[in-house]
Copies of this chain bind each other. A is one copy, B any other.
Amino acid sequence: MTENRIKIVEKILDANDRLANENRRRLDAAAIYSINLMASPGAGKTSFILSTINALLSEDIQIGVIEGDTAPVTIDSDKINAAGMPAVQVNTGGECHMDAVMVENALDQLPLTNLDLVVVENVGNLICPAAFNLGTHSNVLIASVPEGDDKPYKYPNIYRGLDVLIINKIDLLPYIDFDMEYFQKGVEMLNPGLKTFAVSCKTDEGLDDWIDWLRSRLPNR
């Protein structure tokens, strides 16, 4: 990158960090736990949110969702609304990641005083979202079995910044060459001791442990 370009990128990231801090203060003031949910396209982010909503439904835990997409669609926010939770759809206008301004604007449209948890479903991308702090409490990545076992080696930056890793679609393990040991060795190298849950949103396998962990993070539970 040229020096000019580097300066501009640094300025953008500084401004983003300031706004991210404001988002965090706002979420803390409302006693809301929040998650930046990242993944490749089609790793199952929306299905995972829906499974989480369903698992917590009987406990009256309220979950607001911010859906980031590069195009003006409402496919995912419609699904969240149909599950009875408030969702805000954000069109990034072709941008490859969510940023703190988009989250700030979306928070304006959520009923914060009623919520226990906010999930930001980031744009499907294993690279760009890693550079943008949104102000959320944790970075969660969904790695999907069909993507293959070499992703930590090829996309190390996103793995380094994670608080939680979800390995999804484990129901497909019998049909796919996926070496779990090789995958986890790559993860351990980048982010030692990373909290990891292996799940299937199709069969619900492994979801209980994730829900227990998540419940323990909610300030009012």
User: Hey, which bits of chain A sit against chain B, CB under 8 A?
Assistant: 4-5, 8, 12, 40-42, 69-71, 73, 75, 94, 96, 123-128, 144, 146-148, 150-151, 153-157, 169, 171-172, 175-176
Contacts and interface: CB of A to CB of B under 8 A. Distances in A.
Nearest to A73: B153
Contacts of A169: 146
Contacts of A128: 96, 127-128
A106 to B, nearest CB: 17
Q: Which one of A5, A40, A41, A157 has the greatest number of beta carbons of chain B within 10 Å?
A: A41
A171 B172 CA distance: 12
Given A42-B148, A70-B127, A172-B175, 5 more contacts: A41-B155, A42-B147, A71-B154, A75-B153, A96-B127
Contacts of A126: 41, 124-125
Contacts of A127: 70, 94, 96, 123, 125, 128
